[in-house]
Amino acid sequence: PLVPLDGGRFATSDLNDLYRRVINRNNRLKRLLELNAPDIIVRNEKRMLQESADALLDNGRRGRAITGSNKRPLKSLSDMIKGKQGRFRQNLLGKRVDYSGRSVIVVGPTLRLHQCGLPKKMALELFKPFIFGKLQRRGLATTIKAAKKLVERETAEVWDILAEVIREHPVMLNRAPTLHRLGIQAFEPQLIEGKAIQLHPLVCAAFNADFDGDQMAVHVPLSLEAQLEARSLMMSTNNVLSPANGDPIIVPSQDVVLGLYYMTREAIGAKGEGMVFSGPQEAQRAYETGHASLHAKVKVRITDHVKDEDNDDPAAELISRTRLVETTVGRSILTSIMPKGLPYELFNQTLKKKAISRLLDAAYRSVGMKESVVFADHLMYTGYRYSTRAGVSFCADDMIIPEKKIELLSAAEEDVKEIQRQFEGGLVTQGERYNKVVDIWARTNDLVAKAMMDKIGSETVTDAEGNPVLDDAGNEVEQESFNSIYMMADSGARGSPAQIRQLAGMRGLMAKPDGSIIETPITSNFREGLTVLQYFISTHGARKGLADTALKTANSGYLTRRLVDVAQDMAVVLDDCGTSRGMLMRPIIEGGDVVEGLAKRVLGRVIAQDVLRDDEVVVPAGTLVDEYWVNEIDRLAIDELVVRSAITCEANYGVCRQCYGRDLARGHLVCKGESVGVIAAQSIGEPGTQLTMRTFHIGGAASRSAAESGIAVKSTGKVNLINVKTVTNAQGNLVAVSRSGELSVVDGNGRERERYKLPYGATLMVASGESIDAGQKVAQWDPHTHPIISEVSGRIEFLDFNDNVTVQTKVDEITGLSSIEVMDPKARPSSGRDLRPTVRLLDENGESIFFENTKIPVQYPLPAGALVTTTNGADVGVGDVVARLPQASSKTRDITGGLPRVADLFEARKPKDGAILAEKTGTISFGKETKGKQRIVITGEDGEAYEELIPKWRMLDVFEGEKVTQGEVIADGEPHPHDILRLLGATALAEYLVKEIQDVYRLQGVGINDKHIEVIVRQMMRKVDIYDAGDSEQFLRGEQTDFWRVIEENKTLQAAGKLPIKFIRVLMGITKASLVTDSFVSAASFQETTRVLTDAAVRGARDELRGLKENVIVGRLIPAGTGLAYHEKRRRERNPFQLEDAFAAGQPGVEITPALAVEEAPAVESVASGTE
C-alpha cells in the first residue's frame, strides 16, 4: 500500500523497498549477462542479488540488515510473522474486538455482587445493534439510518429501550494484566450517570484492582450462546472460589474488615454491660438510642438454624435452637444477616480477616452458592456501615514508642562491643563477628517489636471520668487496646506488625542491593525520624525494591507465558483411565512444625488404593476426599495415603477426571472438557507477578531471623532418630556424624508431630526412643561453623600440609594464637594444586587406625577455607572437633531468589555445582586420583563397579567403605532433576519438583494446590527415548516420541506375543517441551517462528489442530469446555470408525457440565431463566 503523506511524500510498506531492490538487481544482472560483462562485475552483481533476496526473506539473518532512509532495518517477510508484533501474537492470538470500551473504575459500594455500574453514554454505544433492532421492531424507526438519527438525538424512548435491552444482558469486565481467568468476569450492568465504571468492592481482589486510576475494559457478548456462557460460567457470583487453591476469593478487605472487627470487639466496663435483651432487634435499638455501647458484654436471646448432629442425611431439615447467649451488642446485630445453616458460634468471636474468610468458606460449603453470595454482600454493607460509624483514624500519638526500647538498645550495644573486643583479642574471625553482630541486632529488633506490640496492644480500662478501673485486689484492669493503628493491623485490614515496627519500634537491619546485610541497624523509627546517615542507608534498600519490581514483572510474565504454552492442550478428556497408580502423600513437616497436614493435601483428590486398618477397608479406592472424609482421615490418624495424580494418569491426551480430582473453583469432581492445563499455568504464574511486586513494601528491611542453634521440642512424646550416625564424646554426649539425619517427635498414638534436620556435628542431649517433655532442648550446635569431628580417638598426623603451598598459618597479632587455614586451590602455587591437605589418625604405635570391619584408614580430607585449631601430633578423643569450616554469612531470602528458582525448576536446568547422586546401590571406595579429580568407585552387589570422577574440592558426604543406595546423595548440593528421574523414577521427580516449587511459594505465604504443579510436570515428561525398539515396526532405536504412543504400541506388541519396546522417560524444560509439541502451529506462535515453520515445511508436517492455541489461530471453537462437545460431534460425523479418536473422545454418556448444554436449542431458554 502507498499512502500519501502531507508534504508530498509517500509512506509505504518496507516490502516495497525490498522487492524493488531484488527487481532492480535482477534486471541489471540480466543486462550485464547480455552485454557479456567481465566476470568480476557479474559475480559482484550475483552476490548483491543474493543479498537482496536474503533480506527480503529474513532481513538481518545474514550480514548487516539492509536499512531504509531513516537508518532503521527494513521489515522483511519473516519479521512480519515473528515476535510480539508479528502476525501470530499480534493478530491471530490477540485481536481487538468490536463492541468494547474502556473507562476508569470507581468503587460501587451499593452494588450487588453480580452487578456493575455502566455509564449511560457507554451503554448506548455498546448496545447499538440491539437498540436499532428494538427501535425498528417497535416501529419507531423505519430504517437503520432513521434509528441512528434517533440514537444520536438521545430521545426519551431511546433511554427506555436501552434499559430494556440491558436487562439481564451480562457484560464482561476485564482488567489488564489478565493473569488468571478471574481477570475477566461477567456482570449485569446498571445504568449510571457520569463516565466511570462502578466496580463491586469484593471482586477487586480477583481483578487485583484498586481505585487509584485503574482502567477496565467492557465487552458485550452478542450471540445467545455467548450470553448464556457469560451468565452461567463467568458471572462473578459463580466465581467465589479461587481456581489456584480452592479458598474463597470473594473476601472482604480493608474498610469492611475494619468495620466488622470493630463491631465484634468486646470492651470491659462499656456502657450497658450486663444488660439482658429479648432479641437482637432490642439490642440494636439500645445501641441506636445510645443506651448500650457496641462493645458491651450482654446476654441476648438468639435463634440460629443448624444441621442436626445425629442425622447423617445432607438434605435433612435444619433444626432451630433458641438460647440465651453471652455476647456483645455488635455481635448480636450481625444475626440479622446470618444465613440459615450457620451456627451463631462462628459469629460470636472477634471477626478478623482470617475469621471472616473461614466464615465465608463455611457458608459456601454448608448453605450453598446463592445464599453465601447474598451473605457476602450483606457482610460488606454492614462492614462499610459500621466502619463509618467507628470513625477509626490515627494520629502521631497513636504510634506509641515503648519505654523499654532505650534499655534494649543499650544492652545490644554492650553485646556488640563485647564481640568487638573478642574480635580484637583474636577469639573470633571477621566473618564470625559479622554474623554474631547481625544476630544480636536481629534479636533486639524482635524484642523491640514485641515490646512495642505489647505496649500498643493493651490499654488500661477507664471509667466515664477517665480514672483507671481497679479490680478486687486493687490492681488496674488491662484490656486489648482500641488504638487505631493496632486495630487496623490486628484485624488484617491494612498494615502488619512489621510495618508498625518501623513506625514505632526500630527500622532494624537493612540490606545492601546484593542482599548482604549492613551490620549497623537503623535504631530510630519513622515517628522519631531518621538521622541523615540512617535515611541514606534506608534509601538503598527502598530503591532496590522499586528497581527489582520493574524487572521482575517482565520475568514473571514470561514464565507464565511459557507455562501456558507447555500446558495449553491439557484438558480433561476421559471419565476414568482406570489406573491404580498414584502418588504417596504425607504431611509436610518442616523445622518441627507440620506446615501442611495430610488432610489438607489430599482434600479434593481421589484415593488410588484401599486404605486398610486391621484388614478392613477404612477408605475405599475411588473415594473423592471431601470435607467429610478429611475429618475421617484425621480421626483415623492415617499418616500416608496413595492418591491419584495427573503424573500417573494413563489417558493419552490430557488427563482423566478421577486422576485430576476436584475442580477447585467449583468444589465438585472436575467436568469433562475443563481446560486444566491453562488453569494450572495461570495458578502458578499469577502469584509470581504478585510476589515480585510485593518485595518493596517493607522498604528493604532485612527480614532475617536469628540463626538456629539448637532444637527445643514443642510437644511431649518420644524421640526418634532417622538415619543418624552418632559417636559418644568425652563428656558422654552423643554427637551426630551423619549429614542427612533427622530427628522426629512421635506422640502417644504413634503419629509424627515434629521433624527436624540434624546437622553434622550437633550434640544430642537425648538418645533415640527416650521420652521428652514439651519445651525440652534435645540438641544444639554452632550455627556459624561447620565442624569436622573425629569418630575415633588417636593421635593426629597432618598430610600434605605444606606452608604457603596448601595451607597458611595465621597468627593473630593480639593473642598470638595460631590457626592453620587450608588455601583455596585456585590461590595455591602450581605445585600445590593437586595436593589435598588431610588429617589422619594414628594409634599409639604410629599405625593408621582403620574404620571398624574395613580396610579403610580413618582420615579427613579438608576442603578449602577450613581452619585447623589442633597441632600435628596432638591427641584427640572421640567426638572432638578436628577442624572447622566458617559458614558464609546468610543473605536475605526473598522471592527475588524465588522467581528465578521456580523458572530453573520448570526449565529443568542443571544446577551449578549440583549434588552428585549414587548411580547404583553398592559400597563406596576411592580409586586412583587423576589430575584435579578424585575417583569414586561404587561396587554393586553383583560385583560390577561403576566409576565416576569428581572435582577434588567437592565436600563428600560419604567415607570409604560406606554403603549407598541408588539415588542417594554423595556430594551435597542441588540435585539435578534429570538425575532424579533417571535414578529414582517419575513419581520421585514429581514429588521433588512439587516440594521445591511449593517451598518458594510457601515462603511468601501463597497457596497453590499441588495438582497444578503436577499437571505441568506431566507435560514436561511427555517424551521418551527408545533404546531398544523390540519387535516394533513403527519406532526405531534412538527415536524420541510420546510416552503414550510407546505404551499403546507395547500393549499391541504384548498382545501379539512380541518383544516390547524398551525406553527411558525424558524430562524437558518447559520451553523445550512447548517447541517439540506435535502441533507446528502452536510451536510457531511460541518462539523461534521461522525455524519451526521452515522445519515443518521441509518435513511436510501435518497439524491435527488438537490443542487450544492452534484452534484459536485458525479461528475455530477450542476443544475444551463447550467446544469439546462440538469437536467430538464433528469427529464422530466425519469418520465414526476411527478407534483412536473414539478413545480420545471418551466413553459415550459422560456428562458435561449442565451449564454447557448448548447442543439443543430448547435447553438454552430454561438455563437462562433458571440462573436468575
pLDDT score of 748 more than 80: no
In this predicted structure, what is the pLDDT of residue 31? 93
Task: Let me know if residue 489 belongs to a domain.
Answer: no
The confidence band for 845, taking pLDDT boundaries of 50, 70 and 90, is: confident
Out of 25, 54, 81, a domain closes at 81
Task: Let me know if residue 550 belongs to a domain.
Answer: no
Output the CA–CA distances (angstroms, integers) from residue 844 to 372, 797, 847, 1016, 1128, in the order listed. 81, 12, 7, 61, 84
As a whole-number percent, the residues of the chain with pLDDT over 90 amount to 12
Span 920-934, mean pLDDT?
A: 74
Residue 798 identity (one-letter amino acid): F
Phi, psi of 719 (to 5 degrees): -85, 140
- How far is the C-alpha of 335 from the C-alpha of 331, rounded, in Å? 7
Q: To 10 degrees, what angle do helices 1010-1020 and 676-693 make?
A: 110
Supply the pTM of this predicted model.
Answer: 0.78
Encode pLDDT of 861-873 as tens digits. 777 777 887 778 8
Span 705-733, mean pLDDT?
A: 74
Residues 267 and 344 reside in one and the same domain: yes
Closest Cα to residue 741, out of 728, 719, 760, 764? 760
Q: What is the number of alpha carbons within 13 Å of residue 582 lying toward its C-beta?
A: 27
Most confident range (mean pLDDT) of 528-532, 703-707, 900-904 is 528-532
Choice between 727 and 289, residue whose per-residue pLDDT is larger: 289
In this predicted structure, what is the pLDDT of residue 955? 65
Residues 761 and 831 reside in one and the same domain: no
Residue 938 CA to its chain's centroid (Å): 39
pLDDT score of 896 more than 90: no
Encode pLDDT of 38-91 as tens digits. 999 999 999 999 999 988 888 888 877 777 777 888 888 888 888 777 777 777
pLDDT score of 847 more than 90: no
Radius of gyration, CA atoms only, the chain? 36
Which residue range forms the structural domain that includes residue 25?
14-81
Output the CA–CA distances (angstroms, integers) from residue 209 to 104, 178, 251, 720, in the order listed. 11, 11, 14, 50
Task: Let me know if residue 214 belongs to a domain.
Answer: yes
Task: Let me know if residue 517 belongs to a domain.
Answer: no
Q: Lowest mean pLDDT: which of 197-211, 664-678, 1137-1151?
A: 1137-1151
In this predicted structure, what is the pLDDT of residue 34? 93
The confidence band for 1154, taking pLDDT boundaries of 50, 70 and 90, is: very low
Whether omega before 177 lies within 30 degrees of 0, making that bond cis, reads yes
Encode pLDDT of 819-828 as tens digits. 788 877 677 7
Q: Lowest mean pLDDT: which of 198-212, 948-962, 1064-1078?
A: 948-962
Closest Cα to residue 1064, out of 1019, 1018, 1020, 1024? 1024
Contact yes or no for 202/251 (Cβ under 8 A)? yes
* DSSP code for 232: I
Contact yes or no for 807/862 (Cβ under 8 A)? no
Cα-based torsion angle of the residue sequence 564, 566, 572, 577 in order, rounded to the nearest 10 degrees: -160
What are the cell numbers at 740?
542427612
In this predicted structure, what is the pLDDT of residue 723? 74
Most confident range (mean pLDDT) of 266-275, 633-642, 706-715, 1015-1024 is 1015-1024
Encode pLDDT of 337-380 as tens digits. 888 888 888 888 888 988 998 888 888 888 888 888 999 999 99
pLDDT score of 1138 more than 70: no
Check which CATH number belongs to the domain holding 429 and give it: 1.10.132.30
* DSSP code for 670: P
Residue 660 CA to its chain's centroid (Å): 19
In this predicted structure, what is the pLDDT of residue 509? 82
Number of H helices and E strands in the chain, helices first, is 35, 50
Residue found by looking up cell 444520536 in the block: 152
Task: Let me know if residue 75 belongs to a domain.
Answer: yes
Task: Let me know if residue 864 belongs to a domain.
Answer: yes
Residues 138 and 113 reside in one and the same domain: yes
Check which CATH number belongs to the domain holding 804 and give it: 2.40.50.100
Check which CATH number belongs to the domain holding 1129 and give it: 1.10.150.390
pLDDT score of 970 more than 80: no
Handedness of CA 468, 473, 479, 483 (dihedral sign): positive
Which residues in 1029-1109 belong to E strands, given as ranges? 1040-1042, 1062-1065
In this predicted structure, what is the pLDDT of residue 116? 92
Per the structure, the count of domains in the chain is 9
Output the CA–CA distances (angstroms, integers) from residue 87 to 93, 554, 972, in the order listed. 9, 22, 48
Residues 155 and 201 reside in one and the same domain: yes
Task: Let me know if residue 503 belongs to a domain.
Answer: no
pLDDT score of 750 more than 70: no
Encode pLDDT of 490-504 as tens digits. 888 888 888 888 888
Residues 1024 and 1166 reside in one and the same domain: yes
Residues 825 and 967 reside in one and the same domain: no
The confidence band for 855, taking pLDDT boundaries of 50, 70 and 90, is: low
In this predicted structure, what is the pLDDT of residue 815? 63
Closest Cα to residue 1066, out of 1136, 1140, 986, 994? 986
Residues 454 and 588 reside in one and the same domain: no
Closest Cα to residue 683, out of 153, 246, 384? 246
- How far is the C-alpha of 1074 from the C-alpha of 565, rounded, in Å? 6
Out of 858, 889, 920, a domain closes at 889
Residues 597 and 582 reside in one and the same domain: yes
Output the CA–CA distances (angstroms, integers) from residue 16 to 67, 90, 503, in the order listed. 13, 22, 65
In this predicted structure, what is the pLDDT of residue 253? 86
Residues 776 and 798 reside in one and the same domain: no
Encode pLDDT of 140-188 as tens digits. 888 888 888 888 888 888 899 999 999 889 999 999 888 888 999 999 9
What are the strands of the beta sheet with 710-712, ordered from one edge? 710-712, 777-780, 763-764, 734-736, 726-728
Out of 749, 782, 815, a domain closes at 782
pLDDT score of 696 more than 50: no
Q: Lowest mean pLDDT: which of 30-34, 344-348, 1149-1153?
A: 1149-1153
Residue 608 identity (one-letter amino acid): A
In this predicted structure, what is the pLDDT of residue 742? 79
Closest Cα to residue 454, out of 462, 463, 446, 444? 446
In this predicted structure, what is the pLDDT of residue 258? 92
Residues 602 and 743 reside in one and the same domain: no
- How far is the C-alpha of 1078 from the C-alpha of 652, rounded, in Å? 13
pLDDT score of 1160 more than 60: no
- Cβ contacts of residue 177 below 8 Å, gap of 6+? 183, 557, 689
Residues 65 and 115 reside in one and the same domain: no
The confidence band for 475, taking pLDDT boundaries of 50, 70 and 90, is: confident
Q: How many CB atoms lie within 10 A of CB 9?
A: 9
Task: Let me know if residue 166 belongs to a domain.
Answer: yes
Residues in the chain: 1172
Closest Cα to residue 865, out of 811, 806, 779? 806
Residue 28 CA to its chain's centroid (Å): 62
Contact yes or no for 1012/244 (Cβ under 8 A)? yes
In this predicted structure, what is the pLDDT of residue 1162? 37
pLDDT score of 23 more than 90: yes
Check which CATH number belongs to the domain holding 107 and give it: 2.40.40.20
Residues 321 and 335 reside in one and the same domain: yes
- How far is the C-alpha of 203 from the C-alpha of 80, rounded, in Å? 39
- How far is the C-alpha of 144 from the C-alpha of 129, rounded, in Å? 9
Residue 823 identity (one-letter amino acid): M
Output the CA–CA distances (angstroms, integers) from residue 258 to 143, 328, 740, in the order listed. 56, 17, 47
Across the chain, what does the average pLDDT equal?
81
